[in-house]
Amino acid sequence: MLHLFYLLLKHFGPQHWWPAQSPFEVMVGAVLTQNTAWKNVEQAIANLREAGVLDPRALFSVSSQVLEELIRPAGFYRVKAARLRSLVEYILDRYGGEVELMAREPGWLLRKELLSIHGIGEETADSILLYALDKPFFVVDTYTRRILTRQGVIKGREPYSEIQRLFMESLPADVELYKEYHALLVELGKRYCKTRSPLCLECPLYLEVGCG
């Protein structure tokens, strides 16, 4: 796994992901990016920032209708507005709206709490843990699954936890490494390992190690 990381890092360079101005913004982005392209999330976040509601208390204070309109560019805006409200209620009730207090808790506890929130699945929870709270949980997304399947590392239908374990048992528990690795896999998936018409012959992994 580490060999693949260095191949991708050599080809793409550091990604410095997740693009955000605060940990809470990362949390919001993790919910908004569900089933949509990042460019749509960026517009929704820009709307929230312009409205001055990118902190838990401010976001909770706006009406559902206003919130839905602000995040409309991200798609599924009614569903995502409800999920954001559930996340914010949790942060307010459990940590008084202080993300810094959340970050002091152990990762295993935070993951358990996040997964109990309506609409927060494993990928979203781990994105929040890794990118917002600096907890070493590797994020497994569609790109990761597709790349590993085409590399012959997995069959493709393994559960999230099994794929995550492949990374976390073979890599040091390093937050920055996990961030860079995940971001590099996203970049590879977007540029080369596409769902349709993948650019296999141009892919940096194919050129170095081939495909399974």
Residues 60 and 102 in one domain: yes
207 — pLDDT class (breaks 50, 70, 90):
low
| Average pLDDT rounded to a whole number, residues 43-63 | 96
Residues 63 and 97 in one domain: yes
Instruction: Determine how many CB atoms are found less than 10 A away from the CB of residue 130.
Output: 23
Residue 204 or 107, more confident: 107
pLDDT of residue 200 exceeding 90: no
pLDDT of residue 48 exceeding 80: yes
Q: Which of 84, 102, 132 is the C-terminal boundary of a domain?
A: 132
* Mean pLDDT rounded to a whole number for the chain: 94
Residues 121 and 196 in one domain: no
Which pLDDT belongs to residue 19?
A: 84
Residues 120 and 202 in one domain: no
**Structural domain count of the chain:** 2
Which pLDDT belongs to residue 1?
A: 84
CA-based nearest residue to 179, from 142, 127, 141: 127
Q: pLDDT tens-digit profile of 80-99?
A: 999 999 999 999 999 999 99
| Average pLDDT rounded to a whole number, residues 176-192 | 96
Q: pLDDT tens-digit profile of 66-85?
A: 999 999 999 999 999 999 99
| Average pLDDT rounded to a whole number, residues 101-105 | 97
Residues 150 and 49 in one domain: no
Kindly give, in sequence order, each residue whose CB lies less than 8 Å from that of residue 24, ignoring residues fewer than 6 positions away: 54, 55, 56, 91, 99, 132
The CATH number that applies at residue 190 is 1.10.1670.10
Q: What is the pTM of this model?
A: 0.94
The CATH number that applies at residue 112 is 1.10.340.30
Which pLDDT belongs to residue 206?
A: 74
208 — pLDDT class (breaks 50, 70, 90):
low
Residues 29 and 127 in one domain: yes
Residues 187 and 128 in one domain: no
Q: Which of 104, 132, 160 is the C-terminal boundary of a domain?
A: 132
Residues 65 and 155 in one domain: no
Residues 148 and 167 in one domain: yes
Residue 192 or 209, more confident: 192
Rounded to 5 degrees, φ, ψ at 35 are 60, 35
Residues 29 and 76 in one domain: yes
Terminal C-alpha separation, the chain = 15
Residues 28 and 6 in one domain: no
Residues 121 and 150 in one domain: no
In terms of residue numbers, what domain contains 79? 23-132
| Average pLDDT rounded to a whole number, residues 37-44 | 94
DSSP of 171-182: S---HHHHHHHH
Q: Rounded to whole angstroms, what are the CA distances from 167 to 2, 3, 144?
A: 9, 12, 11
